[in-house]
Amino acid sequence: MKRIETPRTCLREMHDTDAAFICDLLNQPSFLQYIGDRHVRTPEQAATFIETRYRQSYRDHGYGLYVVEQRDTAVPMGICGFVRRDVLPDADMGFAFLPQFEGWGYAYEAATSALEHARVTLGLTRVLAIAQPDNARSHALLRRLRFDVSGEVLLPGETVTLRLFVRELNAVRRPLSP
């Protein structure tokens, strides 16, 4: 994937040089609470995780989760993109940001550009998203991105039933909220 630039962000593929950032992100309290423990505790483990999870997804599916950087400084703020899960019929949008970058609209900006990339470049016509029932911030962002609640799903090996959201990418929809 070539870089996707927005007025304030840049989305790019993840590399092993992102290991320290990914180690930090995956161990944030909000990541552990709402997404789960990936058992990545060191930059070395993060480099392996990047290769076996994120980069493997690019090779297998042509998409994955991307690093979201501040456009002007190249400081990594979070991740955003798509995960292919065997138990879901369509790509699953995911996002996570370091706490100091939450509440500034970066996730909305990055996710909007990722959805356009999915529609135009990847040719996806529908994208799903999953979130824990008590993750109000993710629910609010997904609603703002024009996802609709579609039901619930229990992923294999998990104990918490997740809320399932869907977004038709080619459908005529209400305008994006400001």
3-state secondary structure 154-175: CCCCCCCCEEEEEEECCCCCCC
CA dihedral 73, 109, 125, 88 (to 10 degrees): 80
Of residues 17, 29, 135, 103, the one with CA closest to residue 67: 17
In the block, which residue shows the tokens 């990545």? 40
Domain total in the chain:
1
Is the residue at 72 inside a domain?
Answer: yes
* pLDDT of 147: 98
The CATH number given to whatever domain includes residue 129 is 3.40.630.30
Taking 60 as the threshold, does the pLDDT of residue 173 lie above it? no
pTM for the model? 0.92
Is the residue at 173 inside a domain?
Answer: no
Is the residue at 175 inside a domain?
Answer: no
Distance, in Å, from the CA atom of 88 to the CA atom of 79, rounded to the nearest integer, reads 21
Is the residue at 177 inside a domain?
Answer: no
Number of H helices, E strands in the chain: 6, 8
User: What is the rounded average pLDDT of the residues 94-103?
Assistant: 97
* pLDDT of 81: 98
- Per-residue pLDDT reduced to its tens digit, 39-48: 999 999 999 9
- Per-residue pLDDT reduced to its tens digit, 13-36: 999 999 999 999 999 999 999 999
* pLDDT of 170: 82
- Per-residue pLDDT reduced to its tens digit, 129-158: 999 999 999 999 999 999 999 999 999 988
Distance, in Å, from the CA atom of 143 to the CA atom of 112, rounded to the nearest integer, reads 12
Taking 70 as the threshold, does the pLDDT of residue 172 lie above it? no
Is the residue at 26 inside a domain?
Answer: yes
**Residues of the domain holding 31:** 4-168
Is the residue at 176 inside a domain?
Answer: no
